[in-house]
Amino acid sequence: MKLVVVESPAKAKTIEKYLGPGHRVLASYGHVRDLPAKDGSVDPDNGFAMEWESYADKARQLKAIADEAKGADTLILATDPDREGEAISWHVQEVLKKKKALPQDVQRVTFNAITKPAVLDAMAKPRDLDVDLIDAYRARRALDYLVGFTLSPVLWRKLPGAKSAGRVQSVALRLIVDREREIEIFKPQEYWSVAADMEQDGVPFAARLVRWKGEKIDRLTIGNQGDAEAAKKDVEAGRFAVASVETKPLTRNPPPPFTTSTLQQEAARKLGFSASHTMRVAQNLYEDGAITYMRTDGVQMDGSAISAARGAIANRYDGSYVPDKPRQYQTKAKNAQEAHEAIRPTDFSKDRVGSGDHARLYELIFKRALASQMASARLERTTVELTDGTGRHALRATGQVVLFPGYLALYEEGRDDEGDEDSKRLPRMGEGDAPAKKAVTAEQHFTQPPPRYSEASLVKKMEELGIGRPSTYASILQTLKDREYVTLEKNRFIPEESGRLVTSFLERFFERYVSYDYTAGLEESLDDISGGRAEWQKVLEAFWRDFKPKTVEVMEQKPSEVTAALDEFLGPYLFPDKGDGSDPRLCPACHAGRLSLRGGRFGAFIACSNYPECKFTRRFAQKGGGEDGGDAGPVNLGADPATGLEVTKRSGRFGPYVQLGDGKDAKRASIPKDVPGEDFGIDWALKLLSLPREVGAHPETGKPITASIGRYGPYLAHDGKYARLTSTNDVFETGMNAAVVKLAEAAAGGGRARGGAREPLQVFGPNPETGAEVKLMEGRFGPYVTDGTTNATLPKSMDPSALTLEAAVQLLAERAAKGPAKGKKKAAPKKAAAAKKPAAAKKPAAEKKPAAKKAPAKKKTAE
């Protein structure tokens, strides 16, 4: 018997069906071991020896694999065809070796698609484990561990509020922070454009001013309204005729099929997917056999796939859309271990697979791959220049005509920043023609700062710089979000205060290790290991030799010394020159003390040197120094008429708030963002302090309805039920009738009652074998089929609308063959019965505890 080990159960199920009798296919459910999240898991003094520990939640899978391996003649390791897949296979082999369950014959097979021909072909060509890939994995894992477990403690002790640092994570964060700094120092420049709305033979078009008073007009030439108005009058007064018409042919070639990074970029642009979501959906499509492997740097396609694509193009369009020769694309990636075949459909006859996000991503992959083998688009670009009688003023109109769409008939690549005036069509014109001038406009513009990074543009930038690798981009971006170093607003990354401070700390004390060139160079060294051109231990030694002493040096500094160094380093950003010769550090509250960076238990902030006499403070990431830039201490708003206690407005860690009285019994209330600052006074403060407000008794239950402001905003509450309000004003103005209606609407919109009957999405008819009616239903975890006895969930890549009775019956049969769901097994009573045995009872429980080690963190410490 041959035991085949793969990563996922979905993959295992499909492959076992392809291989047939004599094979047993089991899933490892991903990685089975990792470095424990504790000191000493990597020992630099002992050749970087690593202490691996199995995941506690993988014990059952490893036992099943070991039990089967003991009776197997051959072990076939069929995990994914990349570095991580090679590592999983190596870990499984090492675990079985320790358990003395490793068969004599161990084979490694890889396939780029989970289709029967690909799997059977791979099984016929086994190989040994790739030692170079395993070494590259060990080097990366050790590097990430050493950076994370050496640098993070330095951050925790020297920079309150910091959470972690990582080898690639910190460099990606620096990109985001650097872009934010560019935006902040950017000074917009005014400029004007002058354009004429023209018409020729009933066809309107626009022409912009490109020459004025004999001088060429660039974008920034006209810099004020006076010049713009003068230019506008000259254009209005002139009679413009066509001086030249220039037509140039243009050819646009299709982009290559997707790599991992280009798929993430395009899915972000066109579908709004995050990188991690794109990879999850692509993984499902791959495991269902719909697409080839989704972690790749390669742009080439297999010869048979190219032939299939050309055939599909000929069937869909006419012969002119198929180029004379197949298109061949070359991989530019340096790390050949990830340069597998490009991401493409496994079957070009299927233009649709699955439903929802799976269908949308598959369609994108299908169109891109098919378009890559289509004919080039042929266009014609026309430039028309019009001059007035003096020849001193000139207008220009540009346009583009698609003569033959080619691949554009199917697919056009997205862009991060849209806008192309050349794409407009122009009417036919010849020299001497004098189009009618309908209107002339002068528009004011301002230069714009560089845009913040989106997930697509950040992945693109990281790829350009050689930072990270395709398989790591999604996890890097997710880590930055999980650590709350960045936020996403309108799909753009904005660094948080903590992210900016961590980046500043690393730039000041570990500049080399967050530099783009160094990180890219280290990635190349790791690629050299995977290619057999470098030894993994020597690469680690070279890194550790400089890195360890640097961390020791910083750790020996006092927190106050670190803060002082950061204060000096960040001075130009925190206290920018005002341009009037005044001291940018002068305290705006007392006008005597000087501002500087301070460290506190909740992170860094700006404070006055005259503390405690002057209590002026400002948030770390709040640039400036004006009167409104900080908190000069409590502001007395007046006295509460009911208690006589003082009401003050204050600023805290989570923003402004009001306080009634002093001491630990003082009552506090946050000031919502939608309360206008100019109207805020004692009246608003007392209203906020009085919450919750009782609207009245509910007419049906007699229980009180209250209105208040919580963590997620304003709301109504009644008998354990809640309803959202739209604004702070609603908290104080909502009456009984409106409150009852809102609570009723919230209750009605809370979903179906548990156990409520659901209408089937489709009824297929009786099961041919049992006679029971087969239905398609919508469930909590997606669509499923049922015959009243067995429920079978549809694979994520299966389109529910395309499901047939035969397919539904097959799904039910496969589900029934597996037996009852795990949740229905009553294992607990059996364990209780076993505990009654005298032998087991005499064994002290304490002796068993060491075996139940805490599972190592599955997230990579510092990619």
In this predicted model, what pLDDT tens digit does every residue of 3-36 receive, in sequence order? Answer: 999 988 888 888 998 998 899 999 998 899 999 9
795 pLDDT tier (thresholds 50, 70, 90): confident
Cα→Cα distances 90→68, 78, 798, 855, Å = 18, 11, 33, 20
End-to-end CA distance of the chain: 40
Residue 835 inside a domain? The answer is: no
Helix, strand or coil, per DSSP, at residue 391: coil
Tokens of 457: 């543009």
Element (DSSP H or E) covering residue 835: helix 827-835
Residue with tokens 């020992």: 43
Contact 334, 524 (CB under 8 A): yes
Q: Quote the mean pLDDT of the chain.
A: 85
Q: Are residues 17 and 117 in the same domain?
A: yes
Quick check: bond before 612 cis, omega within 30?
Answer: yes
Backbone angles phi, psi at 359, to 5 degrees: -65, -40
293 is catalytic: yes
Query: Is 712 domain-assigned?
Result: yes
Tell me, yes or no, whether 30 and 90 share the same domain: yes
Reported as a single tens digit per residue, the pLDDT across 545-602 is: 999 999 999 989 888 888 889 888 888 888 888 778 889 899 888 888 999 988 776 6
CATH code assigned at 485:
1.10.460.10
Same domain flag for 23 and 61: yes
Q: Do the beta carbons of residue 282 and residue 103 sit within 8 Å? A: no
Q: What is the pLDDT of residues 478-507, one digit of tens each?
A: 889 888 889 988 889 999 888 888 899 999
Over residues 344-390, the pLDDT tens digits come to 999 999 999 988 899 999 999 999 999 999 999 999 999 999 999 88
Altogether, the residues listed in the chain come to a count of 863
Residues 398-425, mean pLDDT to the nearest whole number: 76
Parent domain of 497: 146-186+452-557
Q: Are 604 and 720 in a shared domain? A: no
Q: Identify whether the C-beta of residue 378 lies closer than 8 Å to the C-beta of residue 406.
A: yes
Is pLDDT at 848 greater than 70 in this prediction? no
Per-residue confidence band for 449, with pLDDT thresholds at 50, 70 and 90: very high
Q: Within a domain: residue 798?
A: no
The dihedral sign for the CA sequence 210, 214, 216, 220: negative
Q: Are 242 and 434 in contact (CB under 8 A)?
A: yes
CA atoms within 13 A on the CB side of 331: 20
Question: Do the domain assignments include residue 764?
Answer: no
Percentage helix, strand, coil, to 5, in the chain? 40, 20, 40
Contacts of 669 (CB under 8 A, 6+ apart): 657, 658, 685, 688, 689, 691, 709
Residue 54 shares a structural domain with residue 75 = yes
Domain final residue pick, 313, 342, 375: 375
Dihedral angle, C-alpha 124, 130, 134, 139, nearest 10 °: -150
Q: Which helix (H) or strand (E) holds 659?
A: strand 655-660
Average pLDDT of the residues in 671-680: 77
d(CA 859, CA 148) in angstroms, rounded, equals: 12
CATH number at 581 reads: 3.30.65
Q: Could you say which DSSP state residue 654 is in?
A: T
Of residues 129, 18, 138, 114, the one with CA closest to residue 77: 129
DSSP 8-state secondary structure symbol assigned to residue 295: -
Separation CA 619–CA 269 (nearest Å): 34
The predicted structure's pLDDT at residue 679: 67
- Contact residues for 204 (Cβ-Cβ < 8 A; gap 6+): 197, 198, 438
Q: What is the band of 821 on the pLDDT scale with cuts at 50, 70, 90?
A: low
User: Does residue 176 sit in the same domain as residue 206?
Assistant: no
Count of domains forming the chain:
7
Same domain, 344 and 460: no
Confidence class for position 857, pLDDT limits 50, 70, 90 = very low
In a domain? residue 505: yes
pLDDT for the residue numbered 40: 87
Whether residues 427 and 348 share a domain: the answer is: no
Q: Which helix (H) or strand (E) holds 650?
A: strand 646-652
| pLDDT score, position 827 | 44
pLDDT at 639: 87
Residue 622 has pLDDT above 80, yes or no: no
Residue where a domain stops, chosen among 569, 592, 619:
619
Q: How confident is the model at residue 96 (pLDDT cuts 50, 70, 90)?
A: very high
How many angstroms from the chain centroid is the CA of residue 96? 36
Same domain, 566 and 552: no
Which among 704, 721, 748 is the end of a domain?
Answer: 748
At residue 105, the 3 state secondary structure works out as: strand
DSSP secondary structure code for residue 338 in this structure: G
Instruction: For residue 134, tell me if it sits in a domain.
Output: no
CATH code at position 416: 2.70.20.10
DSSP string for 418-449: ---GGGS------TT---EEEEEEEEEEE--P
Domain CATH number, residue 52: 3.40.50.140
Token pair in block for residue 350: 């299927």
Q: Would you say residue 805 lies in a domain?
A: no
Let me know: does 585 contact 629? Beta carbons within 8 Å. Answer: no
- In this prediction, residue 333 has a pLDDT band, given cuts at 50, 70 and 90, of low
pLDDT of residue 759: 66
pLDDT for residue 220 is more than 50 = yes
CA dihedral 563, 569, 573, 574 (to 10 degrees): 20
Segment 102-138, tens digit of pLDDT = 999 999 999 988 889 999 999 999 999 999 999 999 9
Same domain, 463 and 500: yes
Q: What is the pLDDT of residue 599?
A: 75
Distance CA 472, CA 313 (A): 34
Q: Is the pLDDT of residue 241 over 90?
A: yes
Residue 148 contacts residue 479 (beta carbons within 8 Å)? no
Catalytic residue, chosen from 55, 137, 293, 784, is 293
Helices (H), 9-114: 9-19, 59-70, 83-98
Lowest mean pLDDT among 56-60, 390-394, 630-634, 799-803: 630-634
CA gap 362, 802 in Å, rounded: 16
pLDDT of 846 over the 60 cut: no
Tell me the mean pLDDT in the region 43-52.
94
> Which has more confidence, 630 or 537?
537
Under the banding of pLDDT at 50, 70 and 90, the label for residue 216 is very high
**Are 514 and 546 contained in the same domain?**
yes
Residues 352 and 498 in one domain: no
Other CB atoms closer than 10 Å to residue 370's CB: what's the count? Answer: 24
**Pairwise CA distance, residues 555 & 475, whole Å:** 29
Higher pLDDT, 512 or 612: 512
Residue 330 counted as domain residue: yes
Measured at the CA of 607, the angle between CA 605 and CA 611, to 5 degrees, comes to 140
